[in-house]
Amino acid sequence: MKRVAIQGQAGSFHDIAVQHYFGQEQVQLIYCATFEMVFENIKRDPTVIGMVAIENTIAGSLLHNYELLRDSGVTVVGEHKLHIQHAICCLPDDSWDTLREVHSHPVALMQCRQFLANRPELRAVEAEDTAGAAEYIAQHQCRGTAAICHAEAARMNGLKVLEDAIEDNKHNFTRFLVVCDPRKADFMRPLDKTDKASLVFSLPHEEGSLSKVLTILSFYNINLTKIQSLPIIGQEWEYLFYVDVTYNNLIRYRQSIDAIIPLTRELKILGEYNNGKQTR
């Protein structure tokens, strides 16, 4: 049985992503209040796997998670892209006429901004977690209060779904990374079957330094799918570049890495894995 640490609780989008990614495999979830605790669980027990959100098609990148990923020393061994669908739910005895507040994570509230604008009678209240908001309403029997969460979280807590798919943008996906102790990486995925990699590096503060790296990747037919820059604390105007690439030839990919190493500083391969599927 695999033990998987996630930020959030039962019914959260991390929980749903784990269910989709591991399918019929037996999984024991370790619920964590913060992303830091996810990585701490892996550090304490190398057999633990982590599932962490890294970017959303609407809200953008989770920048702090890039830092945690780099500093923790874990390896990325997989990814999953989950369609994010929000529902509004409440206690069975409540209705639109009795609701006065709606609780959810600030990102979920933002993603349902237009829906909430059409319900001006509902006061939006930020919560730490979407599923946690539903659980709180159920446990404390909060009359007149709704939660925005996944419909599964509503059902798990015995709440009534008033309306599903209330998100403003129906093309709302979150990308999750599967991470583990480097010593366990080969058990999680066959390296010769990989077609995607995540890298991080810094560059000399010279004209055209990034362009040179990208030109070499292009020469080796390596497809750049994402680039994210973050400032290096204490080094003004210098940056770390987090890059995702895809490839169809492992040898050519390895050659490209060898070719860009002399042009970069502190290049680190965060993980090599399979390009994840999108699920709804």
Span 130-186, pLDDT tens digits: 999 999 999 999 999 999 999 999 999 999 999 999 999 989 999 999 999 999 998
Helix (H, G, I), strand (E, B) or coil at 219: helix
Distances in whole angstroms, Cα of residue 236 to Cα of each of 9, 131, 268: 39, 40, 21
Pair 132, 33: CB distance under 8 Å: no
Other C-beta atoms lying within 10 Å of the C-beta of residue 57 = 14
Cite the beta strand spans of 33-95 per DSSP E: 49-56, 60-61, 75-83, 87-90
Q: What is the pLDDT of residues 45-92, one digit of tens each?
A: 999 999 999 999 888 899 999 999 999 999 999 999 999 999 999 999
Per-residue pLDDT, 22: 94
Handedness of CA 254, 243, 82, 280 (dihedral sign): negative
pLDDT at 32 over 90: yes
pLDDT band at 279 (very low <50, low <70, confident <90, very high): low
Q: What is the mean pLDDT of the chain?
A: 94
Best CA proximity match to 147, nearest among 88, 97, 106, 100: 88
> Cα(first)–Cα(last) distance of the chain, in Å?
25
pLDDT at 280 over 70: no
Q: Which two tokens stand for residue 191?
A: 């390296």
What is the C-alpha separation between 152 and 198, in angstroms, rounded? Answer: 32
